[in-house]
């Protein structure tokens, strides 16, 4: 009996070793192929340099749908299809001007409208400027201090966080909610300091939201250097005024698409691992890190599974989501599709934190799911991936959470992300080929493990 037990346990060890060895070799093969033979970087070149910024509803967004669908059709997926989704269609148009008037000087600043802002009247809005660092300061000023003024939100991002997304998480509300919060006290417009840890002259756009019960007022962002200038000017001269001119507008919704490609699972085709990024981007730049990177990394998965002859036990589905930036309609549509489906959505991985060198994964799921996921960690250490952090995922996959899907986000090094985020300088040259391809390998490796072992 003892001998039989020993034999059985030796066999088990052998089988375990062997499975581990196979997994380790498979992960290695993804990295080797991605680094030496990857195509993600060249697809990103096309997406950014030939197509460009891809705001929902724009011709470029439509081109990106066609281009990525066509490429995916050549990569060996079992099926490639489009998923219809109506998206908002906000356009920036051609007038974005902020002029500061102080002590007889007239100083033009470079701005961008925040995404979703209404236009000003044609001649603009001119008013006194009042600076606040926080909503608490705004509330303290109240209607007496704010009414009829342009409110300047000048709260800097916190430099001390090592993970820059933590700083963004804290400061993001001064972009998203500035207009509605200031309007409730009668402000006529808002200016927000750009959300970046860099001191430069680049304004950052991004989504803002109105509240239907509060008057809509126009809003814009200025660069961190201009924010410092304006703040200093207000100290020198509290009577400083500004004039804002915007002619952006919201047009009727437009038909657009999520682009989907899948490799059917060999054993459990109705259990799905979703992998994706978002195809839309802000219009001022080229959407290289945000989020062309995540899209081409996801596409690379299809190419690598095919070329390396890897047949996952569960279905791996790549989704290039539309409209993450200003509506999340693509993610919502996909979640509706999932809820109506008889398939089981085990896990979803999103890459939407830039094409930088991967450092880990963040995730939100049940304790059991998270424990099983962490079990894969040793396979990633040879590739510099050490951080497995609870509490994460990605905007596009966030609505899958209610289905019990384990939501996972790729976490690249975050130091440079907000230098480029939502700006004219989010361009192809800011992406390093190897860093991008390392991310593609990390995603493919994790998707392979999830597809083969499942996650309960």
Residues tagged active-site: 324
- H or E element in which residue 139 lies: helix 135-146
CA dist 358 and 414 (Å) reads 9
Could you tell me the smallest distance in angstroms from the CB atom of residue 167 to a copy of itself? 10
CA dist 386 and 32 (Å) reads 19
DSSP symbols for 34-48: HHHH--HHHHHHIII
**Comparing C-alpha atoms, which of 113, 57, 109 is closest to residue 86?**
57
Tokens of 277: 């990024």
Tokens of 214: 């509060």
Binding mask 194-233 for a copy of itself (x = CB under 8 A): ---xx-----------------------------------
Count of positions on this chain that bind a copy of itself (CB under 8 A): 26
DSSP symbols for 262-324: EE--SSEEEEEEEEEEES---SSS--IIIIIHHHHHHHHHHHHHHHTT---SEEEEEEEES-T
Distance set, CA 214 to CA 172, 177, 185, 406 (Å): 20, 12, 10, 37
Could you tell me the smallest distance in angstroms from the CB atom of residue 435 to a copy of itself? 5
Residue 290 interacts with a copy of itself (CB under 8 A): yes or no: no
CA dist 25 and 29 (Å) reads 6
Binding mask 130-169 for a copy of itself (x = CB under 8 A): -----------------------------xx-x-x-----
Could you tell me the smallest distance in angstroms from the CB atom of residue 158 to a copy of itself? 8
162-201: contacts with a copy of itself (CB under 8 A): 162, 164, 197-198
DSSP code for 172: T
Could you tell me the smallest distance in angstroms from the CB atom of residue 233 to a copy of itself? 24
Q: Which of 366, 386, 404, 456 binds a copy of itself (CB under 8 A)?
A: 386
Buried-exposed string 243-257: b where 16+ CB fall within 10 A, e elsewhere: bbbbbbeeeeebebb
Contact segment (CB under 8 A) with a copy of itself among 28-36, 216-224, 288-296, 315-323 equals 28-36
Shorter beta-carbon distance to a copy of itself: residue 142 or 378: 378
Shorter beta-carbon distance to a copy of itself: residue 97 or 200: 200
Could you tell me the smallest distance in angstroms from the CB atom of residue 382 to a copy of itself? 7
Contact segment (CB under 8 A) with a copy of itself among 32-40, 54-62, 65-73, 246-254 equals 32-40
Could you tell me the smallest distance in angstroms from the CB atom of residue 67 to a copy of itself? 23
Q: What angle do CA 29, 35, 163 make, to 5 degrees?
A: 105
Could you tell me the smallest distance in angstroms from the CB atom of residue 277 to a copy of itself? 20
**Is the CB of residue 337 less than 8 Å from the CB of residue 403?**
no
Could you tell me the smallest distance in angstroms from the CB atom of residue 386 to a copy of itself? 4
Shorter beta-carbon distance to a copy of itself: residue 33 or 101: 33
Q: Which of 383, 395, 403, 425 binds a copy of itself (CB under 8 A)?
A: 383
Tokens of 329: 């309609």
**HSE, side-chain direction, 13 A CA sphere, residue 354:** 23
Could you tell me the smallest distance in angstroms from the CB atom of residue 309 to a copy of itself? 19
Shorter beta-carbon distance to a copy of itself: residue 142 or 382: 382
**Comparing C-alpha atoms, which of 247, 236, 249 is closest to residue 107?**
236
Shorter beta-carbon distance to a copy of itself: residue 149 or 303: 303
CA dist 291 and 281 (Å) reads 7
Contact segment (CB under 8 A) with a copy of itself among 134-142, 173-181, 283-291, 378-386 equals 378-386
Shorter beta-carbon distance to a copy of itself: residue 190 or 362: 362
Tokens of 304: 């690598």
Residue 35 interacts with a copy of itself (CB under 8 A): yes or no: yes
CA dist 259 and 251 (Å) reads 23
Strand spans (E) along 9-122? 79-91, 96-102, 105-109, 111-113
410-439: contacts with a copy of itself (CB under 8 A): 413, 415-416, 419, 432-435, 438
Residue 384 interacts with a copy of itself (CB under 8 A): yes or no: yes
312-371: contacts with a copy of itself (CB under 8 A): 357, 359
Q: Which residues lie near a copy of itself (CB under 8 A)?
A: 31-32, 35-36, 159-160, 162, 164, 197-198, 357, 359, 382-384, 386-387, 413, 415-416, 419, 432-435, 438
């Amino acid at each position: 009996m003892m001998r039989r037990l020993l034999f059985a346990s030796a066999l088990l060890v052998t089988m375990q070793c062997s499975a581990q060895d196979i997994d380790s070799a498979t992960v290695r093969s993804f990295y080797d192929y991605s680094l030496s033979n990857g195509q993600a970087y060249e697809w990103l070149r096309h997406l950014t340099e030939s197509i460009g910024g891809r705001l929902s509803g724009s011709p470029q967004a439509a081109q990106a749908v066609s281009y990525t669908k066509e490429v995916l059709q050549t990569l060996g997926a079992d099926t490639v299809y489009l998923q219809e989704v109506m998206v908002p269609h906000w356009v920036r148009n051609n007038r974005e001007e902020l002029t500061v008037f102080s002590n007889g000087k007239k100083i033009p600043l470079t701005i961008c409208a925040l995404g979703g802002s209404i236009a000003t009247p044609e001649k603009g809005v001119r008013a006194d400027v009042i600076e606040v660092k926080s909503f608490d300061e705004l509330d303290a000023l109240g209607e007496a201090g704010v009414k009829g003024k342009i409110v300047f939100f000048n709260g800097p991002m916190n430099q001390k966080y090592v993970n820059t997304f933590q700083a963004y998480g804290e400061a993001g509300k001064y972009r998203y909610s500035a207009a509605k919060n200031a309007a409730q006290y009668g402000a006529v417009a808002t200016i927000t300091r750009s959300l970046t840890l860099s001191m430069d002259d680049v304004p950052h756009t991004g989504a803002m939201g109105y509240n239907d019960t509060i008057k809509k007022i126009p809003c814009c962002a200025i660069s961190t250097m201009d924010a410092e200038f304006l703040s200093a000017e207000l100290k020198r001269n509290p009577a400083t005024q500004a004039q804002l001119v915007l002619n952006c507008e919201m047009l009727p919704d437009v038909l657009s698409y999520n682009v989907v490609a899948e490799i059917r699972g060999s054993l459990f085709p109705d259990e799905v691992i979703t992998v994706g990024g978002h195809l839309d981007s802000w219009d001022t730049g080229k959407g290289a890190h945000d989020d062309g990177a995540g899209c081409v990394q996801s596409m690379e998965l299809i190419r690598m599974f095919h070329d390396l002859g890897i047949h996952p036990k569960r279905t791996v589905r790549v989704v290039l989501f539309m409209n993450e930036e200003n509506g999340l309609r693509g993610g919502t549509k996909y979640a509706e599709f999932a809820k109506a489906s008889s398939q089981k959505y085990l896990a979803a991985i999103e890459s939407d934190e830039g094409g930088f060198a991967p450092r880990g994964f963040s995730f939100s799921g049940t304790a059991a799911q998270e424990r099983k996921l962490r079990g894969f960690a040793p396979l990633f250490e040879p590739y510099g991936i050490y951080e497995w952090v609870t509490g994460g995922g990605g905007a596009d996959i966030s609505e899958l959470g209610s289905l019990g899907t384990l939501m996972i986000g790729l976490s690249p090094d975050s130091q440079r992300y907000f230098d480029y985020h939502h700006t004219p300088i989010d361009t192809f040259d800011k992406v390093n080929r190897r860093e991008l391809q390392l991310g593609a390998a990390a995603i493919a490796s994790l998707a392979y493990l999830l597809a083969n072992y499942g996650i309960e």
